Amino acid sequence: MENATTVAVKVTLGVDLGDRVSHVCVLDQSTGRVLDRFQVASTRDAFQAAFSPRCASRLVLEAGAHSGWASRLLCTAGYEVIVANPRRVRLIGSSRRKNDRMDAELLARLGRSDPNLLFPIRHRNAQHHDHLVVLRSRSVLVEKRSALICHVRGTLKAMGERAPTASSEAFPRRVRERVCEHGVRILEPILETLDGLTETIRGYEETIERLSAETYPETRRLRLVEGVGPLTALAFVLVVEDPFRFRHARSVGAFVGLCPGLSQSGDIDPQLPITKTGDRMLRSLLVGAAQYILGPFAGDSTLRRYGQRLMVVGGKAAKKRAVVAVARKLAVLLLHLWRHPDEPYDPLHDAPPLPAAERLPSNPTPEGDE
């Protein structure tokens, strides 16, 4: 979503969005006095009727399922819209006196005093949101397909049969070929469902390829990095939206939740796990790409050498930490490639030396010699 237009604030509205009904509290900006309270159905038509006639004012929402469409609609109506991050504002999520009416007033009072106290977030525009739904829908179907395959494997094991090894696409066909007729007859509805899911997933993947080629050609450059496919590249572009939204490129690591948390106080500075904030799907895709980069089939690159050096030390958790670190650096690299489309990409740019275990001897012994 584009930045809301700053207006001369006379009143501040707090809106607690509900699934069916939203509660609204209107405060006088100068005195903080409650001017009005009312309820409105949580639909586009009801919001347009309730808010359009009002004078341009500041309006505070809490991030949630309805905040995307509501914030875009209210921005169009001329409001200065602030979307509060409930994870960062303990007064909203951890209050002991919590109801919709009081939440609306609390949002209004926080927005009246200092909007920065709300740690405001920015919703993406409608087109990016719609295209991101395509990626999320595919992701949900892949998860459901995996769950059904596990169900089939478990059922066959209980029947004394062993499910064949096969890719997700070929799994139903291989089951029909290898499993006894009794087992196939029982599981045929599940196998048909798997065939249908695979076909739908294939359709989504074709849509993703078309979107990448026609609407987001910048994804082609991101796919120069080995391990980054069309899904990861398009998800990165859609979630980040603007390559220049960050002052420093390394901030994208924190944006996707791949940076360690911070809880420093005096001399105490414990090592915390990553925050896992931001978009979960994009974070998962970046971690998957990092696992490929560190796997047996990826070529030599700066990212691979960086991860290999981290895996040398750190005990049992070294591999996991290396994967997360490579995923974080991968996000920074993708942003850099997006920002500088004319700069040639060199996978070994500023590459550290290979770990000792990866180096070949300078004069290898010929085969057959002792």
Query: Which pLDDT score, from 0 to 100, does residue 56 have?
Result: 60
Instruction: For residue 176, give both structure tokens.
Output: 């029909």
Q: Are residues 254 and 325 in the same domain?
A: yes
Per-residue confidence (pLDDT) for residue 260, from 0 to 100: 85
CA torsion through residues 173, 174, 176, 177, sign: positive
* 215-226 average pLDDT score: 96
Q: Are residues 211 and 224 in the same domain?
A: no
Domain termination site, one of 88, 118, 148: 118
Please identify which residue in the block is written with the tokens 């974070």. 283
Q: Tell me: do 242 and 351 sit in the same domain.
A: yes
Which structure tokens are listed for 8?
């001369």
Domain ends where: 74, 99, 118? 118
Q: b vs e for 8-40, b when ≥16 Cβ sit within 10 Å of the residue's Cβ?
A: eeebbbbbbbbeeebbbbbbebeeeeeeeeebb
Question: What number is the average pLDDT over the span 216-235?
Answer: 96
Q: Which band of pLDDT confidence, cut at 50, 70 and 90, is reported for residue 188?
A: very high
Q: Is the same domain home to 114 and 132?
A: no
Q: Which of 57, 83, 85 is nearest to 70 (CA)?
A: 83
Instruction: Identify the helix (H) or strand (E) that includes residue 25.
Output: strand 21-28
Q: Give the β-pairing of 21-28 and 34-41.
A: antiparallel
Average pLDDT over all residues of the chain: 88
Kindly report, residue by residue over 60-119, the tens digit of the pLDDT: 999 999 999 999 999 988 899 999 988 777 766 665 556 888 889 999 999 998 888 888
In a domain, 367, yes or no: no
What is d(CA 115, CA 119) in angstroms, rounded to the nearest whole number? 7
Looking at the predicted structure, is the pLDDT value of residue 362 above 50?
Answer: no
- pLDDT, tens only, 249-270: 999 999 999 988 877 667 776 7
Cα separation, 261 vs 281, in Å, equals 20
Between 252 and 317, the higher pLDDT residue: 252
CA-wise closest residue to 185 among 156, 160, 145: 156
Residues 233 and 268 in one domain: yes
Which pair of structure tokens corresponds to residue 179? 């499993």
Query: Is 27 found in the same domain as 85?
Result: yes
Q: Which residue has the higher pLDDT, 23 or 260?
A: 23
Q: Is 334 exposed, middle or buried (0-12, 13-18, 19+ CB in 10 A)?
A: buried
Residues 262 and 177 in one domain: no
Alpha helices in the chain (DSSP H): 44-51, 67-76, 90-93, 100-113, 126-158, 171-178, 181-214, 219-222, 230-240, 251-255, 280-293, 302-312, 318-339
Q: Give the strand order in the sheet containing 80-84.
A: 34-41, 21-28, 11-16, 58-62, 80-84
Domain shared by 103 and 137, yes or no: no
Q: What is the percent of the chain where pLDDT is above 90?
A: 68
User: Quick one: 211 and 227 in the same domain?
Assistant: no
Strand pairing category for 11-16 and 58-62: parallel
Nearest Cα to Cα of residue 256 among 277, 242, 240:
277
- Residue 89's domain is classified under what CATH number? 3.30.420.10
227 and 350 co-located in one domain: yes
Domain count, the chain: 3
Domain of residue 178: give its range: 126-215
Residue 237 lies in a domain: yes
Model pLDDT, residue 315: 74
To 5 degrees, how large is the angle CA 308–CA 312–CA 318? Answer: 85
- The pair of structure tokens assigned to 120 is 């405001």
CA dihedral 134, 195, 227, 297 (to 10 degrees): 180
User: Do 331 and 226 belong together in one domain?
Assistant: yes
**Shared-domain flag, residues 269 and 340:** yes
